Structure 1
Amino acid sequence: MSECAVICGLGTCLPERVITNEDLTARLDTSDEWIRRRTGIQRRRMVDPGTSTGDLAVAAGQAAQVSAGRSADFVVLATTTPDRPCPATAPEVAHRLGLTEVPALDIAAVCSGFVYALGLAEALVRAGACDQPLVIGAEVYTSIIDPQDRNTAVIFGDGAGAVLLRRGDSGEPGAIHAVELGSSGAGSDLITVAGGGSRIPGREQQVPREQRYFRMQGREVYRQAVARMTSSARSVLDRVQWSPSSVRAFVGHQANQRILDAVADRLGVSKCYRFGNIAEVGNTAAASIPLAMADASASNRIHPGAPTLLTAFGGGLTWGSAAVTWPDVVPVSLPPKSPTALCGSMTDRETDAVATAPQPH
């Protein structure tokens, strides 16, 4: 056995507001049948006005620390929707969590963000730079989606998920055995919000509508996602000498059910070992993998220590996969935190939820 980073806590935050396919068909030229057939999505979550990515990240980060029973000494936040263009959101999230003066940074790798952040945190542990990094994926995608664009408005939702890592060894449940990352800037225009940066600056009214909102070239993104996720997954499995048939939990970024099925089919992962929650929460970008892991834990079909494959693809273009063993954790879910709420005090509702949670295996 060798020293490595181990997942020891898992937390989530989902807004209470649910947007169904029927809600969208009332204002878009689409149907419930079309959305389900093309994406696999039935409903998604949306924040209330005034709730930010940071609010979701604080709640998920607190939940992960409650789940682990320990505090973080480094914060990595993966997001496409930071609270502000400047500064990064992670330092404020760390402050609101009561993590005084710990290092904190944002990662912008779009839907691959969680795997990128996990890879960085794992490397920091191995390098001795920290002992217990907190990895958060948080998004308020509804803030960048064109409400009139049926190709994106039906897909994305808001949410946050987080894992806390600690120093451990490779024989433990939750051990991170390998992370494989890649990118290709040649496809940077396939998934983009073109306006608002230094290339196309200006006030909102000065930037054309098509450049203010998230845009995606669906057919090419589908092709690239299937190819890149499949290749990346095979590469990381080869590194740890696992065969696809040995995988007992496949959790892909919840982009589109057809993409997830195509990748798993190409790899040869049995349907009984595929886990996801895209039907209930939609595509939550960097938050999707930890949210799906938390949902999968409720199935009681994954034993701690089971060989697990995580894989993702996003704008940039970026992609990544991780070979881990399923963690021995009980996920904790908390509601969004207002900016005035610090992590030290939980509401009675939150305290009761934690107290009544089942214990780890």
Structure 2
Amino acid sequence: MSLRVETNDEWISTRTGIRERRVIGPNESFSQLCIKAGSSALQMAQWKADTLDLIILATSTPDDLFGSAPKIQAKLGATKAVAFDLTAACSGFLFALVTAAQFIRSGSMKRVLVIGADQLSSWVDWNDRKSCVLFGDGAGAIAIESSEAEDDLIGFKLRSDGTRGDCLNLIEKRNFQPLIGSTMHQQGGFLNIQMNGQEVYKFAVREVPCILQELLKTHQIGSDSLDWLLLHQANKRILDAVADRLKVPRSKVLSNLASYGNTSAATIPLMLDEAVRDGKVLPGNLIASSGFGAGLSWGAALFRWHGPCS
């Protein structure tokens, strides 16, 4: 980035913890990333695609504004699954996971594929030093199914506050063109990501520990009982601040932020996948997770891990 804006690796890494990011190239697509992540999750779960009942794609950057999930469903061969997109920005994966759990608990669905993915590189102002150093592209997925174990998803809490939405947004262009005579129409399109970094930071370090503490208190679980803290990978300072507020040792904070940057809805499933494959997260581990970001939206979930993901 130092070749484009006034910055350097030390400036970026000391302020954010980010050293590398991935950007979709000309021979790749958003849907391809999602299909690869979904296929890997199915392979790890040893499921055939046609046994899926539901696919939820958590994303704010679909390559089809009408929804990318049906395309992914078709490419995976999940012929019996209903598929839809869910938009909640950086909170998206956690919101989608909770949504999937409700379908399973109702008995209407047995097997669900939850994908978190975003291509934020398409909407970054690459001349804005404050934001262009943060965001990358990525996709991750988990396969979940109904279980007799009652403590898989122990509990959750979700929040939204639209009064603070202008702290982080990606809004439409107000570009009107003549149609017939004096009649105008609005040309579709969006502006680049706009972010007030200081306000987003203050929001995250205040609200995320609070909602996690509320969740733990509701279920009478102490933070010292947690095996892992799995947060949206936005900024290392946020991860450290939340862990310190909860009195969770930083050694129990899962983070791959340095390698991928902020991939929005993809950060939590990407991190969970790596931790499972590396043998850090083991069956029976108790995990507290939180997603937070644009909307503003945030949430927390407390669950016990019982299987693999990808």
TM norm structure 1: 0.79
Structure 2 letter corresponding to 1:164: A
The 1:197/1:64 distance shift into structure 2, 3 A limit, reads farther
**How far apart, in 2, do the equivalents of 1:307 and 1:216 lie?**
33
Superposed, 1:47-126 pairs within 5 Å as 47-70=24-47, 71=49, 72-85=52-65, 87-126=66-105
**How far apart, in 1, do the equivalents of 2:148 and 2:195 lie?**
41
Whether 1:202 aligns to 2:181 is no
- How far did residue 233 of structure 1 move? 1.1
**How far apart, in 2, do the equivalents of 1:197 and 1:119 lie?**
34
- How far did residue 253 of structure 1 move? 0.3
**How far apart, in 2, do the equivalents of 1:167 and 1:109 lie?**
25
Bigger Cα displacement from structure 2, 111-120 vs 29-38: 29-38
**How far apart, in 2, do the equivalents of 1:53 and 1:101 lie?**
23
Per the alignment, residue 143 of structure 1 pairs with: 122
The 1:69/1:197 distance shift into structure 2, 3 A limit, reads farther
Query: Which of 36, 44, 56 is 2:13 aligned to?
Result: 36
Query: Which of 289, 292, 315 is 2:294 aligned to?
Result: 315
Native 8 Å contact 2:172 2:188 kept in 1: no
Query: Which of 144, 147, 156 is 1:165 aligned to?
Result: 144
Native 8 Å contact 2:228 2:287 kept in 1: yes
Per the alignment, residue 194 of structure 2 pairs with: 215
**How far apart, in 1, do the equivalents of 2:96 and 2:307 lie?**
21
**How far apart, in 2, do the equivalents of 1:324 and 1:203 lie?**
41
Native 8 Å contact 1:157 1:282 kept in 2: yes
Native 8 Å contact 2:53 2:80 kept in 1: no
SS in 2 for 1:259: helix
**How far apart, in 1, do the equivalents of 2:229 and 2:93 lie?**
15
% same residue: 37
SS in 1 for 2:265: helix
Structure 1 letter corresponding to 2:126: P
Structure 2 residue runs without a partner (length 5+):
177-184
**How far apart, in 2, do the equivalents of 1:267 and 1:197 lie?**
43
Deviations 1:278-297 (A, max 9, x none): 00111110000011112222
Native 8 Å contact 1:195 1:201 kept in 2: no
**How far apart, in 1, do the equivalents of 2:73 and 2:175 lie?**
28
Per the alignment, residue 180 of structure 2 pairs with: none
**How far apart, in 1, do the equivalents of 2:147 and 2:305 lie?**
14
The 1:201/1:286 distance shift into structure 2, 3 A limit, reads farther
Deviations 1:43-65 (A, max 9, x none): 01111125332211111111111
SS in 1 for 2:81: coil
Per the alignment, residue 261 of structure 1 pairs with: 240
Structure 2 letter corresponding to 1:79: T
Whether 1:230 aligns to 2:209 is yes
Native 8 Å contact 1:240 1:323 kept in 2: no
Query: Which of 156, 159, 163 is 1:186 aligned to?
Result: 163
Structure 1 letter corresponding to 2:144: L
The 1:166/1:101 distance shift into structure 2, 3 A limit, reads closer
- How far did residue 240 of structure 1 move? 2.5
Runs of 4+ in 1 over 3 A off after TM superposition: 196-201
